[in-house]
Chains A and B, each alone.
Chain A
Amino acid sequence: MSGVIDEVLRPADLAQALALLAEGGGRRRPIAGGTDLLVQAKEPGAPPRGLVDLWGLDELRGITAEPDRIVVGANTTMTEVLASELLRAEARCLWDGCYEAGSVQIRNRATLGGNAANASPAADSVLGLIALGAEARIASVRGERRLPVEELATAPRRTALAPDELILAFSFPRAGGRSAFARLGQRRAQAISKVSCAIHAQLDDQGCVQAARVAFGAVAPRVVRSPGAEAALRGHSLTDPSARAAAAVAARADTAPIDDLRSTRAYRSEMVGVLLTRLLVRLAGEA
Chain B
Amino acid sequence: MSQDWDTGRGSMGEYDRFRVVNRSRRRVDALKLALGKGTYTDDIAHTIDGLLHLKVLWSPHAHARIVSIDTSEAERVPGVVLILHHGNVPRVPYTTAGQGHPEPSPYDAYVFPRKVRYVGDRVACVAAESELAAARAVAKIKVEYEVLEPVFDPRRALEPGAPLVHDEEEATGICGYDKSRNLVCEMKVEHGDVDDAFARADVVLEREYEVPYQAQCPLEPHCALTWFDEDRRLVVRVATQVPFHSRRILARILGLPLHRIRVIKPRIGGGFGSKQEILLEDLPALVTLRTGRPARLFYTRQEELRSARTRHPQLLRWKTGANRDGTLVAQELEVLANTGAYGAHALTVQSCTAGKTLPLYVAEAYRFLMKTVYTNLPIAGAFRGYGGPQGFFAMECHMDEVASLLGMDPAEFRSKNLIGPGSENPLAKALGEGKEGPPQRIRSCEIQQCIARGKEAIGWERRGTFPQRGPLRRGIGMAALMHGSGIPGVDMASASIKLNDDGSFNLLVGATDIGTGSDTILSQIAAEALGVPLEKIVIYSSDTDITPFDKGAYASSTTYISGMSVKKACDKVVEQLKDAAWEMWQHAGDPCERSSLRHEDEHVRRPDGKALSYAEICLSTFYEHDQHQIMDHASHMSFECPPPFAAHFAEVEVDTETGGVKLLKYVAAVDCGVPIHPENCEGQNEGGAMTMMGYALSEDFVFDGGGALLNDTFRHYKQFTSLDMPPFETILCLSYEPSGPFGAKSVSEIPTDGPGPAIANAIADALGIRFRKLPITPEDIRRAWRERTEPAASAS
A residues within 8 Å of B by Cβ?
1-2, 4, 39, 103, 184, 186-192, 261-264, 266-267, 270-271, 274, 278
Contacts and interface: CB of A to CB of B under 8 A. Distances in A.
A262 B700 CA distance: 11
B180 interface: no
B658 A184 contact: yes
6 contacts: A4-B132, A187-B694, A187-B720, A190-B714, A267-B778, A270-B782
A261 B778 contact: no
A190 B782 CA distance: 23
A264 B778 CA distance: 10
Interface string B694-735: 100010001000000011001110101101100000000000
Interface of B: 132, 135-136, 139, 657-660, 694, 698, 702, 710-711, 714-716, 718, 720-721, 723-724, 778-779, 782-783
A22 to B, nearest CB: 30
Question: Which of B715, B720, B779 lies at the interface centre, i.e. has the most chain A CB atoms within 10 A of its CB?
Answer: B779
Would you call the interface of chain B mostly helix, strand, loop, or mixed? loop
B660 A184 contact: yes
A191 B782 CA distance: 20
A39 B658 contact: no
Contacts of B720: 187
Contacts of A271: 658
Contacts of A187: 694, 698, 718, 720-721, 723-724
A263 B782 CA distance: 12
Contacts of A190: 714, 721
Question: Which of B660, B711, B720, B778 lies at the interface centre, i.e. has the most chain A CB atoms within 10 A of its CB?
Answer: B778
8 closest Cβ pairs, A-B complex: A186-B718, A189-B723, A267-B779, A188-B723, A1-B139, A187-B724, A274-B657, A188-B724
Nearest to A104: B723
A228 to B, nearest CB: 21
B780 to A, nearest CB: 9
Given A184-B658, A261-B710, A274-B657, A189 B779 contact: no
Contacts of A4: 132
B721 A2 contact: no
Nearest to A1: B139
Nearest to A264: B779
Given A184-B658, A271-B658, A2 B135 contact: yes
Contacts of B658: 184, 271, 274
A192 B717 CA distance: 11
Contacts of A103: 721
A191 B694 CA distance: 13
Contacts of A262: 716
Given A187-B698, A188-B723, A271-B658, A261 B135 contact: no
A1 B136 contact: yes
A192 B139 contact: no
A261 B702 contact: yes
A39 B302 CA distance: 13
Nearest to B657: A274
Contacts of B718: 186-187, 191
A3 B715 CA distance: 18
A184 B778 contact: yes
Nearest to A185: B718
Contacts of B698: 186-187
B715 to A, nearest CB: 7
Contacts of A1: 135-136, 139
A1 B724 CA distance: 35
A262 B698 CA distance: 10
B730 to A, nearest CB: 22
Contacts of B716: 261-262
Nearest to B780: A267
Contacts of B660: 184
A92 to B, nearest CB: 21
A267 B660 CA distance: 12
B712 to A, nearest CB: 10
Contacts of B782: 267, 270
Contacts of A263: 779
A189 B715 contact: no
Contact of B715 (A184, A192, A267, A278): A192
A77 to B, nearest CB: 20
Contacts of A184: 658, 660, 778
B136 A188 contact: no
A183 B716 CA distance: 17
A121 to B, nearest CB: 15
Nearest to A271: B658
Contacts of B657: 274, 278
B721 A189 contact: yes
B779 A188 contact: no
Given A184-B658, A187-B698, A262-B716, 18 more contacts: A1-B139, A187-B718, A187-B723, A190-B714, A190-B721, A261-B710, A261-B711, A261-B716, A263-B779, A264-B779, A266-B779, A267-B778, A267-B782, A270-B782, A271-B658, A274-B657, A274-B658, A278-B657
Contacts of A189: 721, 723-724
Contacts of B659: 267
A190 B716 CA distance: 10
Contacts of B779: 263-264, 266-267
A10 B401 CA distance: 64
